[in-house]
Amino acid sequence: MIPIPFIKKLVVLGLAGSLLAPFYINPKIRAAERFEIHFDGMSIPISIKELIDWSNSEEQTNSELASWLNLLGFKERKGLTKFLNTPLVRDKSMARQILRSWSGRKLLDEVSDLILMDEDSSGNSVLDTLENLLNEKDEVTTFDLLNSLSVKAIHIDLDGWIEVANNWRNELKQQQQLISDLVSMNEISSTREERDRSAFEIKETEYELISLSVSHRNEPLKLEVWNPSSREISRKNWVLLMPGLGGDGKHFNWLARSLSHNGWSVVVLAHPGSDSLALEALVKGRLPLPGADVIPDRMNDLDGVLHAKKIGKIDISSENVVLIGHSLGALTAVLASGAEIDDQLESRCQKVLDNLSLTNLSSLLQCQLVDISLPDREKIENLSAIVGMNSFGSFLWQRNLDNQINIPLFLTGGTFDLVTPSISEQLGLLLSVSSSPFSRVLLIEGASHFSPIRVEGQMNQSEGKDLFNLGESIVGYHPLSVQSLLAIEIISFLEKLEEKKAIPSKTNLTKGELKFHVLDKSIIEELIKVQ
């Protein structure tokens, strides 16, 4: 009888093979002969020719190979045949650009430590030979892969993959445990005081589109300037809003509109090279996947807008500024605030990348900063606060160091966010960076990394239409409800900020069907301790 732990390892192998096969394609010199599966000091060879022959044959046998394949989930030949003929690469242009990017190469390097072609662990030959195969075919299947590998054996470190799978599972368990811990802090749910919703339902467009020439760009920046519809409310701050990677200003018009109708002037900054046009260029195979290499230009964009405001090119009367950003826009704001990355980033990132964690994709962007020089700059004058939606950056700073900034942070996140998970990112970032007693984290149950993004058609349906269709499995619970809650809580934070007061910290709040939590540093420290 085969031990249960052994069977589990084989199942993980099957999943890992299906996920990572696209990274191991070579031009056809001779077909690879066998898989070598290594675990617990043992090695099991599986003939690739026998594997393919078994899938094509109609003969019913009880061979040893059939037994192995049954354990891997291929109980019928048609299942294996379908697997072998499923396209691994459907768009060779986009595949090339992703593999040429820093993130793609880094993943390839790390995967090469767990799946070796003969004894080559560098990953360099993999990329070159993949390029050659993509030159020959528009689509690449698993069969093409196995029939084109120019190696004798594909060595798979099953123990390493088991460790990776355990890391993923532990991180997901921590996310689930976080909610349980929050509930246990206060079993009685309470409803946040409702404010007038009319401001969040105004649909007219009230902004001025201006062009701003900057020395570091060949083309001028496009800015949306939202001025308050009423001068009855006098605000001490104005807002500079920055979208995330692949984002546009139109994705956050709902927030700019809400803020302007509550008295704040808002400038929405689009970043060329890392906006939706850049993603479209990636999809069409014209440009590589943008990453942390765009941060220096984004920081210079921010400085350009602040300078234009200072010399009167942008007509806003308020002197103090609040930076609001989503994802990469939030990280840009934190970096621009003066928080300096410490010298231990490279060693921390080595541990992070070894885990191949797909439950925190932002770790790749953070670790890319090891190889990027950020521009020398002065701290922002009159910076009142930073609001970061789905913010990240926790790997860039050690906790409780002298480089913490005394600037209020309002960081928002969701329990469905696997791009910037709340435990390591929003909660961890606040502990690492902020020393202000006004700082808070807003955690929304059911919200994801993409919940704050409003796309075309979302007013009439939850999914909406954009460059990519975002379904509920991606955006989480109904995004319009999340956006409404975000607007209310961000406005509450900004109002209290101007009164030099902190918004109340409380767990198990409700608004409609949404449950959320507003956490201060003491609650976060208790949660992290429990975790």
pLDDT, tens digit (0-9, with 9 covering 90-100), for 482-504: 999 999 999 999 999 999 999 99
Mind listing the pLDDT tens digit for each residue in 373-422? 888 877 888 999 999 999 999 888 876 566 678 899 999 999 888 789 89
| Mean pLDDT to the nearest integer, 249-254 | 91
CB 441 within 8 A of CB 430: yes
Instruction: Tell me, yes or no, whether 58 lies in a domain.
Output: yes
CA 309 to chain centre: 31
Least confident of 121-130, 221-230, 293-302, 509-518: 121-130
Same domain? 303 vs 370 = yes
Closest CA to 191 of 491, 483, 488: 488
Same domain? 74 vs 14 = yes
Mind listing the pLDDT tens digit for each residue in 442-451? 999 989 898 9
Task: With cut-offs at 50, 70 and 90, classify the pLDDT of residue 53.
Answer: confident
Q: What's the pLDDT score for residue 173?
A: 78
Task: With cut-offs at 50, 70 and 90, classify the pLDDT of residue 284.
Answer: low
Mind listing the pLDDT tens digit for each residue in 125-180? 556 666 666 677 767 666 666 666 667 777 777 777 777 667 767 777 777 788 88
Provide the residue range defining the domain that includes 500. Answer: 186-530
Single-letter amino acid, residue 516: F
Q: Which of 75-79, 155-159, 189-193, 314-318 has the highest mean pLDDT?
A: 314-318
Same domain? 196 vs 101 = no
Same domain? 436 vs 512 = yes
Q: What's the pLDDT score for residue 83?
A: 62
- Calculate the alpha carbon distances from 346 to 311, 343, 364 in Å: 39, 7, 12
| Mean pLDDT to the nearest integer, 459-474 | 48
Closest CA to 241 of 229, 228, 226, 230: 226
Q: Which of 76-90, 312-326, 411-425 has the highest mean pLDDT?
A: 312-326
Task: With cut-offs at 50, 70 and 90, classify the pLDDT of residue 98.
Answer: low
| Mean pLDDT to the nearest integer, 89-99 | 58
Q: What's the pLDDT score for residue 42?
A: 76
Same domain? 113 vs 197 = no
Length of the chain counted residue by residue: 531
Q: What's the pLDDT score for residue 474?
A: 59
Residue 457: CB atoms within 10 Å: 13
Q: What's the pLDDT score for residue 286?
A: 61
Same domain? 152 vs 214 = no
Average model confidence (pLDDT) for the chain?
A: 76
Q: What's the pLDDT score for residue 332?
A: 95
Instruction: Tell me, yes or no, whether 173 lies in a domain.
Output: no
Instruction: Tell me, yes or no, whether 118 lies in a domain.
Output: yes
Same domain? 286 vs 227 = yes
pLDDT for residue 273 is more than 70: yes
Same domain? 258 vs 109 = no
Instruction: Tell me, yes or no, whether 169 lies in a domain.
Output: no
Q: Return the percentage of the chain with pLDDT > 90, whole number.
A: 32
CB 145 within 8 A of CB 117: no
320-326 and 383-389 as β-strands: parallel, antiparallel, unpaired? parallel
CB 512 within 8 A of CB 481: yes
CB 153 within 8 A of CB 32: yes
Instruction: Tell me, yes or no, whether 503 lies in a domain.
Output: yes
Number of domains in the chain: 2
Same domain? 282 vs 404 = yes
Same domain? 243 vs 149 = no
Least confident of 244-248, 301-305, 313-317, 351-355: 351-355
Instruction: Tell me, yes or no, whether 177 lies in a domain.
Output: no
| Mean pLDDT to the nearest integer, 115-120 | 69
Q: Return the percentage of the chain with pLDDT > 70, whole number.
A: 61
Read out DSSP for 290-332?
Answer: P-GGGHHHHHHHHHHHHHHHHTTSS-----EEEEEEETHHHHH
Instruction: Tell me, yes or no, whether 175 lies in a domain.
Output: no
Task: With cut-offs at 50, 70 and 90, classify the pLDDT of residue 32.
Answer: low
| Mean pLDDT to the nearest integer, 101-120 | 65
CATH at residue 447: 3.40.50.1820
Instruction: Tell me, yes or no, whether 40 lies in a domain.
Output: yes
> Max alpha carbon distance in the chain (Å)?
83
Task: With cut-offs at 50, 70 and 90, classify the pLDDT of residue 12.
Answer: very low
Give ∠ CA 489-494-500 in degrees, rounded to 5: 125
Structure tokens at 366: 């953070």
Closest CA to 437 of 521, 369, 376: 521
Least confident of 73-77, 115-119, 303-307: 73-77
Same domain? 34 vs 132 = yes
Same domain? 377 vs 455 = yes
